[in-house]
Structure 1
């Protein structure tokens, strides 16, 4: 609560404010104590408090780049590296919101509620991740995606759509290999080694998806005993 600017009231102070509210005759009052600098520092001042604690203009570095740099970095990574990077980002923001000194100590498999989040810190995390990734998350994100791991998976799918499509992700990996090979064309020795390796890979792929050859059944019949043959004939007659 204190990180958002709300300051706890003592019983005595609360009763004083209650008495003052009763004497004021105003139909609606909010009795609270605020640390206005802390409110402004959150960067998300509620409209009702904007006159009391206007949000200072953020510098470009603080405002973020809408996730442009993150997208560019992820585009150069493998699928596993992308997952680890986004998970690390979420873990770091979670630690920052909770004022935790060690992000690596955040258990990404535990729910946000288990590690200490409430509705206020959920909004703060949503805002921080939005500034970093450029993805607009709902205020209920930590309930829709209840662990840092599931939230990171959702973010990765939104930032890199092909990450949510296994086929597209694999084709993207092949595109990266093709781009890498194009830079090696001038090395004759390397080109021969690559050609041999690719021929082996293509042959392996063909074997994995080769349909059953017609002569397979014929070979089975040739190696069958008389008992096997009579068994096959009996099956055919029973089936008819």
Structure 2
């Protein structure tokens, strides 16, 4: 599939899920550059849309997804970035494959393999911690720039359900 076809497919997916959540019959009528709130998306619908997109793509999407990417076009671009890494990141998997082959050849006995496993698990823990710290810092920066209305909307999404909503 060409990059253009992938972009169109993602945009079609996003439009389709938005249309389903909003009860719109024809997804193609959605303006891809119009903010979802202007289309009538409320906080409960935002939770549903995030869940539907997560299920359709297999991605774990952030709670702030629709605040950070408020239009169908922005959502499709984000999903594309997460699902289809840029070409410059392609060598990393190839390098990992090469490392796997080299290590398989070098560490054939049990004792050296166990030592290698311990060291690689420590490396993985370090990289996971760095990733998590980076994500936490990004969230803190986003929270600093969020308006009171957006923060209350996030609170509603996470902690209020239909039965808990004030009548």
Q: TM-score, normalised by structure 1?
A: 0.36
Root-mean-square deviation (CA, aligned residues, Å) is 1.5
| 1:105 equivalent in alignment to 2:29 | yes
| Alignment of structure 1 residues 159-198 onto 2, 5 Å | 159-162=83-86, 165=87, 167=88
Out of 14, 17, 40, the residue aligned to residue 90 of structure 1 is: 14
Out of 52, 59, 82, the residue aligned to residue 158 of structure 1 is: 82
CA distance in 1, matches of 2:63, 2:17: 15
| Alignment of structure 1 residues 1-240 onto 2, 5 Å | 77-162=1-86, 165=87, 167=88
The answer on whether the counterparts of 1:122 and 1:139 sit within 8 Å (CA) in structure 2 is no
Bigger CA radius of gyration: 1
CA distance in 2, matches of 1:122, 1:94: 9
The structure with higher relative contact order (CA 8 Å, sep 6+) is 2
- Which ranges in structure 2 are unaligned for 5 or more consecutive residues? 91-167
Q: TM-score, normalised by structure 2?
A: 0.51
Deviations 1:53-107 (A, max 9, x none): xxxxxxxxxxxxxxxxxxxxxxxx1111111100110000000000111111111
* Displacement after TM superposition at 1:117 (Å): 0.8
* Displacement after TM superposition at 1:139 (Å): 2.2
CA distance in 2, matches of 1:136, 1:111: 22
Aligned to 2:156: none
